[in-house]
Structure formats: structure tokens, C-alpha cells
Amino acid sequence: MTTSTHDRSSRTAAHSHIKGLGLSSDGRATPSAGGFVGQAAAREGEVTELTPEEAENPLGGYGRTISHLLITLKSAKGTKKLRLDPSIYEAIQKERVRLGDVIYVEANTGAVKRVGRSDAYATEFDLEAEEYVPIPKGDVHKKKEIVQDVTLHDLDVANARPQGGQDIMSMMGQLMKPKKTEITEKLRLEINKVVNRYIDQGIADLVPGVLFIDEVHMLDLEAFTFLNRALESPLSPLVILASNRGNTHIRGGSNLPPSAHGIPTDLLARLLIIPTHPYGPAEIKSIITTRVTTEKLDISAAAKDKVSSLGEKISLRYALQLLAPASVLAEVNGRENKQIQVDDVDECQDLFLDARRSAQALGETNGYIS
């Protein structure tokens, strides 16, 4: 969501958290990432003067406080002397700014960023870990593009938990353990109203994202209800669901009949279903060859054909998992160059059961194992 004003353009996005199995309803599980891109008025130049002006402490006592900061910035087109707030002096100290450094100061927020050391001081030392930059071109006062990565989770917390005041009760509350704050539906609706107003006024463009939910059949009925409602919003992203289940019960809806892929029928009717097909013999062999090359294993052609046939008859995952123990057996049996042979694969197949043989063994011993 790109918004712009007379001095700044930024990206804003509205989102919702799915409340379901394995997801926290307070937004603490998987924070989503967003970007902040815009233009802000800034002063940039080489620091030629840095003088903090002191004044008497208004609270009394013998100490003195910083009343303001005088700083002179130099660029290719001239110099400019600035009178800054004392809070910016703290930011300058944090950045360890000294004379000869190139910095920029945002006009709106007062944020200070040290770009580097002016290249005029490049010959000051023979060896040092300093980054030298040329003196800024143009005027000291300029429009500078600011790119900052933020998380939407931070925006949620900032809106759901405003900053406290400066009184003693607020300060004591900040020292205590902060309580978990719920991101309410009312807060989401208010944000959506602001975003929709920006779109209607033409100062915002909607940039939808992509939400991928794997193992979607693990969501419960409440999560599907919330997801179905969220998809009706004009701010909803492109949603991709993945599942490997057939007809199964929906979690939290055991009294309902089984549904295809574990997804409710009303939501399933709104989806475009992409069919998938089992791998063929050539594809399975190609995947196994890639896995062998990646793990730097040595395997004979006959053993590779054996593993490929297991991947076709049983499962590709089971066949791939046999490669590591087969390599260990080849080393134990003293194979030349630790090359995996057919005997190693057969021995691993006897040692490690697949899901089908394991279920069959349990069925045969059902009367003997309690």
C-alpha cells in the first residue's frame, strides 16, 4: 500500500492474524514483514562545527543542561548553520559523530545517520577501518529517499499498546512486566477505514501480497471461518493453500461429515484447485541423482536403480532417507571409495521399515502386543 503526502510517501498494509491451531491469537507467532519507502526532507553534509550550548538547569542545582546544538554542515554548493534540539544531540552522540564526518538529519523525525568520513581526511592515517565518502553534492537542504524495513507486527503492537505518560504511575508501569495486548477486530477495522480512504482519494495504491498456508487441513473450523471472512475484504492478499489429504474431518467439526482436503465446502467452492500427479520413474531417478550429487555420495548404477524402484513402489521420501544409512553401511562393509551397492540398500530396507510394512507388522502382532 503506497501512500504519499506533500513531504513523504510510505507503504502501509492492512493484515489479519489467523487464529487457529499452532497460531497465536495475539499476533506473536509469525509477524509479517512490510516495507517503508519514501522521501523526506533532510539536511546532509560534512560536519565542520559541532557546538553544544549549555544553560542553567531549570530544576535547580549546580548541574547544567544542553539547551540547543549548533552544527554547521558543508556541501559542494555551500554551508548551512543549524540550530538543533538537544534531543538530536543524544542521537549524534550515539552515532559517534565528530568533525569531518558526513551525516544527514531528517527534518521531520530528527533521526541522525552517519554516512561515513569525508574523503578529504583519507590521508589522515595509513591504516584504519573507516569508510570514506565524498562530500555531498548539491545543497545542504535536499529531498532524500529513505528506505526502511519494518514489520507489521510492530505496527500492531504500536497501535494496540500506546506509549505511557511521564507521570510516576506510568513510569512504574513501564518497569513492570508488560501485559499481553490483544489486537482487536475494532483496531483492524479502523486501520482498514484509513487505508480505504487513502485509496478512494487516489493517494494510495494497493499492492496485495501472497499468503501461503501449508498443511491447511491442520486449521480448525474457527480459523476457516475467519479466513473465509478475511478473503472478502478488498485488502486481502493472494492466498495459496496446500494439503495432501483426501476426504477427512475438519478439526473442531467432528460432528460434521468429512470434507475434501479437510477444507469446508463454502471455502472450497471459492478456490481454484491445481491438481498434482505422482512422479514418474524418470523423474524419481532424476531427483535421487540430484540428492546423491548434493550429499556427495558414491553409488553404483544398480544401487541407484534399486533406490529408484523403491521410490516408485513405496515413496520417494522413504527412498531418499535410505541413502544416508546405506552410505554408512558401505563404509562399515569396507566398500571401495565407500560406494553404495545393492546389498547395502537391501540391508537398509530390512533394518528400516516404511509406513506400510510397519502398519502390517502391527496388525499381525495385534494379539501379542498390549
| CA 16-22-26 angle, 5° bins | 40
Which DSSP letter does residue 338 get? G
Higher pLDDT, 138 or 114: 114
The model's pLDDT over 207-224, given as tens digits with 9 standing for 90+, comes to 777 888 888 989 888 888
Per residue in 313-326, pLDDT (tens digit) is: 999 999 999 999 99
Average pLDDT of the chain to the nearest whole number: 75
User: By C-alpha distance, which of 269, 217, 212 is closest to 243?
Assistant: 217
Based on DSSP, count helices (H) and strands (E) in the chain, helices before strands: 12, 14
Q: Predicted confidence band at 6 (pLDDT cuts at 50, 70, 90)?
A: very low
Burial readout 4-16 (b: 16 or more C-beta within 10 A, e: otherwise): eeeebbbbbbbbb
Q: What predicted TM-score, i.e. pTM, was given to this entire model? A: 0.50
**CA quadruple 16, 19, 22, 24: dihedral, nearest 10:** 70
**Residue 124 is placed in which grid cell?**
589522515
| Res 309: pLDDT | 93
**Whether 311 contacts 304, CB under 8 Å:** no
299 Cβ partners below 8 Å, 6+ apart? 292, 307, 323, 326, 339, 340
Query: What confidence score (pLDDT) does residue 30 get?
Result: 36
166 pLDDT higher than 60? no
CA 291 – CA 323 distance, rounded (Å): 9
Q: Which domains does the chain have, with CATH numbers?
A: 1-207 (2.40.50.360), 210-268 (no CATH), 281-363 (1.10.8.60)
Q: Are 134 and 151 in contact (CB under 8 A)?
A: no
> If residue 67 lies in a helix (H) or strand (E), which one and from where to where?
strand 64-75
Residue 113 vs residue 367, higher pLDDT = 113
The CA-atom distances, in angstroms, between 185 and each of 11, 80, 126, 224, 274 are 22, 49, 61, 16, 33
Q: What are the distances in angstroms from CA 57 to CA 65, 66, 89, 91?
A: 6, 9, 17, 21
How many angstroms separate the CA atoms of 72 and 44, rounded? 10
DSSP letters spanning 254-285: TTSPPEETT--HHHHTT-------PPPHHHHH
* Structure confidence at residue 171 (pLDDT): 46
pLDDT on residue 59: 66
Per-residue confidence (pLDDT) for residue 11, from 0 to 100: 36
CA distance 53 to 24: 50
* Whole-number CA gyration radius for the chain: 32
Q: What is the pLDDT of residues 231-244, one digit of tens each?
A: 887 777 888 999 88
